[in-house]
Amino acid sequence: MQKALTFMNLQLHPVVSDMTGATGMRMIRAIVGRERNPQVLARMRDDRCKASEHTVQSARVGNDQPEHVCALKQALELYEFYQARIQECDAQIEQALASITAEKPEPMSPLPALRHRSRSAHPVNFEVRPLLYPLTGTHLTQIHGIGPHLALRLVSECGTDLSRWPSAKHFASW
C-alpha cells in the first residue's frame, strides 16, 4: 500500500504514523472507493491522530492515476486477506490452548486483574490470560513488561517446565 501511495504522490505516511491504523485504513478505503476530495479525507482522521486536519489535507495532494489506484486496491485486498488468515491462526492457537488447559487442574487462586494495560502492536484475537494461567500455574502477566502476547510467546518457546534454569537470573540471561 505504501508503494502505491508513493507513486500517487500522497505523502500520508509522514502525517499518519500507522497506515494500518484507524485513520490510515479509513483513508485508503476511501481513496480506493473513488473519494478524491482532500477536505472529506482529512475529516476521516481519528480523534487520536496527532496531525491536524489541515496537515492531513495538505498531504493528500497528489495524482490519482488509475493504475496506481488499482495497485492500491490490490494491496488493500491482500492486506485484508492476510488479516483474515491471521485471525484463523489465532482461532487455532486458542483451540490448542483450550484443549491443553482442559487437561490441567484448576489453580487454587483466582486469576488476578491485569496489572498494566498496554496495547501490543500485533495482539492476538482472544483472551490469553485465562488460558495460560491454568497451564503455567503462575501469573506471568504480573511481571512488569510481560503482557499477554509476550507470555504466550514465552510459553511457546520455553514450555511450562522452567526447571532447566536453576534461577530467575539464569532464565533472564538466556
CA-to-CA distance for 97 and 132, rounded, in angstroms? 8
Cell of 83: 488479516
pLDDT value for 95 = 92
CA-to-CA distance for 11 and 2, rounded, in angstroms? 10
pLDDT value for 57 = 74
pLDDT value for 119 = 64
Instruction: Tell me which residue of 146, 141, 144, 135 sits closest to 113, measured CA to CA.
Output: 141
CA-to-CA distance for 45 and 54, rounded, in angstroms? 11
CB atoms near residue 134 (< 10 Å):
17
Helix, strand or coil, per DSSP, at residue 107: coil
CA-to-CA distance for 133 and 163, rounded, in angstroms? 18
Threshold 0.75, pTM exceeds: no
CB atoms near residue 150 (< 10 Å):
15
pLDDT value for 29 = 92
Place of cell 473519494: 35
Question: Mean pLDDT of successive 10-residue segments in the chain (174 residues)?
Answer: 84 78 86 84 79 75 83 94 94 90 75 65 76 79 78 85 78 78
Domain ranges of the chain: 2-86, 104-173
Q: Which amino acid is at 119?
A: R
**For helices 129-136 and 66-102, what crossing angle results, to 10°?**
40
CB atoms near residue 23 (< 10 Å):
22
